[in-house]
Chains A and B, each alone.
Chain A
Amino acid sequence: MITEVDAGPITLVAPLDGGRKATSEALKAAIGIGFPNPNRTQGTGPRAIWCGMEQALIVGAACPDLPQAVCVDHTDAWAIVRIEGDQVEDVLARLVPIDLRSAVFKRGHTARTFIGHMNGGVTRVGANAFEVMVMRSMAGTLVHDLESAANGVAARSV
């Protein structure tokens, strides 16, 4: 099943050189989640999703004042889709060139990689559920690609 995720406010946070600890502490004090390690997320309500070298997206909460970081409003910049089902790993394996099986890619893991031809992010949010995100201009292509992949897997498993 593919559903749109209404993420609420999104802010890109990029700590300045040497500012990661102070930024993490300020985030923790304000919204209860710290700055995530590479390829990881933090939190389930308001969330921090790692999205590149020394960068993370703060999702679902207003970003506090962070003097040790550069913050850019990304609200509405990302199209986020939740994809869920028994064969979700097989569907994503058709589009994503990394190993997303649960033994390797666990809940709370995230990766910047390709989804088809698009740069984006993949995050495991449950045993059989992922969130896939791309920039909003590619929302239509993302849904088309996910549907095509899902149809392909479904046709194979009859």
Chain B
Amino acid sequence: MVSPRTIRNLKREWRNNWLAKIGVALVVAILLVAVFAPLLAPYNPRSQSLEDSRLPPMGFTETENSTSSQFVNGSVQVVSERTTVNATWDHPLGTNQLGQDMLSRVIYGARTSLLVGALGTLLAMLIGVPIGLVAGYYRGRVDDALMRFADVMLAFPSLVLAVALVGLWQQAVWRIPDPFVAAGLAPSMPPDIVLPGTVIVVVGLVTWVWFARVARGEALSVREEEYVKAARSLGASDAFVIRKHVLPNSVTPILVLGTIQVAAIILLESALSYLGFSGTSLSWGFDINQGRDYLATAWWIATVPGLAIVLAVIGINLVGDWLRDALDPGLGGEGGSGA
């Protein structure tokens, strides 16, 4: 499936493109963090400790004005107190309003974001690619019908559609036992990985159109290749031709789109969580939502997960760009006619 030339192109692009290296480094780092979250997180991300609430990240000091009423000499007095809250190495990224460790939360949030991104993209691919391939391969009325439907889907702002769908359906949540906890390696950590099932299905449903369009475009061009004609002249069925020729030769742009869609879905999931349509409380978007009320007093509650989203999206997009440049047949890849 992967020809030596493809590998050569990947290597060449790797050599010439330092952005690709940054992207891959970021994505690999986030992946490792997500996988080994129970071992890396210093605290259970859900455990609260109110006396440690709203500690700032390292390097920052926060002053806090608090007023309290006290009984002094039989009368009520309003006492104004000015306290200084210092960051501690116990919570390098600070804590949120519930005293939960931000570092642990960001680490666990990576799991949710990447899983939703990956599973959502996979679902979108599973829906979109076959529809697109069939539309492009058969053209005509099939194509007209499928693509008009896709256009209608595209015309809807995906976030609005997603909100409507999440609102419409029950919040389903999938719980998968965390293998590290089950193996007793991290006994104090949450025992389950909580996956927001509804969100995954919804992001898949609102983004499959992109895959359908790309797959259709590829199928339209691949079906004109003579090797497709050759296979048909041999009596191959349409299903055989699509599976054996059209799909493998459409894979590259679909893959590239896939990486970019993972990033887009992470953003979409964050947006949904931010709006409160989340199935889990361990998500970057959820934390941003939580931090919204404290922007003036504890900016880091929203900013830290926000930065995590930015880094993940940039990293994934850089990888996508690298794949696109390296796999672009226009750069002297396989196929093409002439000479």
Q: Do A and B come from one complex?
A: no
Which A residues are within 8 Å of any B CB, using their own CB? none
Which B residues are within 8 Å of any A CB, using their own CB? none
